[in-house]
Structure 1
Amino acid sequence: MRRSILTLALAALALGGCATTSLQTPAGFAAQPDDDHYEYRASDGEGVVLAVRREKNQPRGDLRFWTSALDVKLRQAGYQALSLEEVASADGIEGRQIRYALPFEGRELSFWVTLFVTSKRVVIVEAGGDSELFDAKTEAVEQAIASLTVG
């Protein structure tokens, strides 16, 4: 059962449904063409990435459930949680953001996962890159995430 829940939590990272979300692309970033995995994806010239995924809320869970399920999976993959923040989308949906660090090939990567949950869907905003480069862009990334409309 635990494995099934974690598998389903990862499935939340896949695109689903028909409604759209929107996000303002930060200055210095370029939006990428749509693909099968992301509803929105943008990157800057230094490899910092911002992306949005959406999935049906199945199994039906609340914000606490989805935050916990994804946090467990990321920690098992070696991500080190640094902080948990309460956030809100531009259209007033409450969310949670967990900020992680991941050692990788002698460097440290920063990775933020921000979740918004409605009765019908889970919206996941991912942001990350080499910590040295990402840290200089945190304000722009925070503003972009705050501009998200869940729809």
Structure 2
Amino acid sequence: MSTKKPVSEDQLDPHTIPTPTEEGEGGDSISIADSVIASIVRMSSLEVDGVSSVGGGSEGFWENISGKKPGRGVLVTIDEAENYVIEVHVEMRFGVELAKTAIQVQQNVRDQVSRMTMKDVSKVDVIIDGVRMDADKVDEDKEESWEQPHSD
């Protein structure tokens, strides 16, 4: 069984992963692409009960017009303190408490990004672009609307 040697403050601990802003031994560095952070934001937003989608339905339109692939509803920037600033556009399910669900999205995004990147998140803005009915509920409503009472 190996024992862990104490590490002085000026040495890197070989049993830990440096944060993206730290340099490893020999000048090595770790960087995480904004697209990876955006993926984490999307996935952690969709984990929250009540979130229907991230990015809204106009993405294909803008992609066709501009020829550029949009950020799919997520914008990631870095502030002066080298912390992430995140903006996420979501659509919520009809009937959920919008503010409460948005707060849960903020907390989940902040927790997941911080945990996975070992870097702080200074701000998470949630923009609610729409409200949607669940697909199952829409199908039920359509079936009910077609079932007209017989008058014969």
Please say whether Structure 1 and Structure 2 have the same fold, judged by a TM-score greater than 0.5: no
Structure showing the higher helix proportion among its residues: 2
The structure richer in strand per residue is: 1
| Larger RCO (CA under 8 A, 6+ residues apart) | 1
TM-score (norm 2): 0.30
Tell which structure's C-alpha radius of gyration is larger. 2
